[in-house]
Structure 1
Amino acid sequence: MALIDRECVRKLLEAPDPDATLVFVRGDCVVLPDKEIDDAHRGLVIASRRELTRLLPGGDTLTEQQLDMLADRLDNVVRDLGA
């Protein structure tokens, strides 16, 4: 079962804050502005919106397949953190 799914990725990419960050907290993906992440949660950061957009192909529209691919990559990051 995936810990990060396409909806988590979509929330991060559609967040209004350009410094939005995906954090995995107590089994849930949460999108927060980077400045709101305290030291206790800094180790739970999965990816920033800026990092994720570097992985994207050009264009404004992402396919469900591309979202799934990104979610799979981020799911591996979460598992590497020991979730």
Structure 2
Amino acid sequence: MLLIDRNCVRELLTSEHPDATLVFVRGDCVVLPAAEVDDAHKGLVIARRDDVRRQLPAGPLTDEALDDLATRLDNIVRDLGS
């Protein structure tokens, strides 16, 4: 079971915040403006939208591309627990 799924990635990419950041908090992915990520949660930052956009293929955003990116981000979350 993925901890980060396509909906988390989509929420990050479509957030109204220009500095949207994906944070994993208490088992959930949460999208916050970077300024709202406090010291207690800085170690739980998974990705920033600008970084994620650079990893997307050119062209339309497909479910397959979102799933691929979600899997990579999910691996980051799992590495945090190691």
SS in 1 for 2:3: coil
- Whether 2:63 is the aligned partner of 1:64: answer yes
8 A contact 2:23–2:45 mirrored in 1: yes
Q: Which runs of 4+ in 1 moved over 2 A?
A: none
Q: Kindly provide the CA deviation profile for residues 15-56 of structure 1, in whole angstroms up to 9, marking residues without a partner as x.
A: 011210000000000000000100000000000001000101
Aligned to 1:76: 75
Partner Cα separation in structure 2 for residue 16 and residue 25 of structure 1? 20
Gaps of 5+ in 2: none
**Percent identity of equivalent pairs:** 68
**C-alpha displacement of 1:58:** 2.1
* Equivalent position of 2:26 in the other structure: 26
Runs (5+) with no aligned partner, structure 1: none
Aligned residues: CA RMSD: 1.0
TM-score normalised by L of structure 1: 0.94
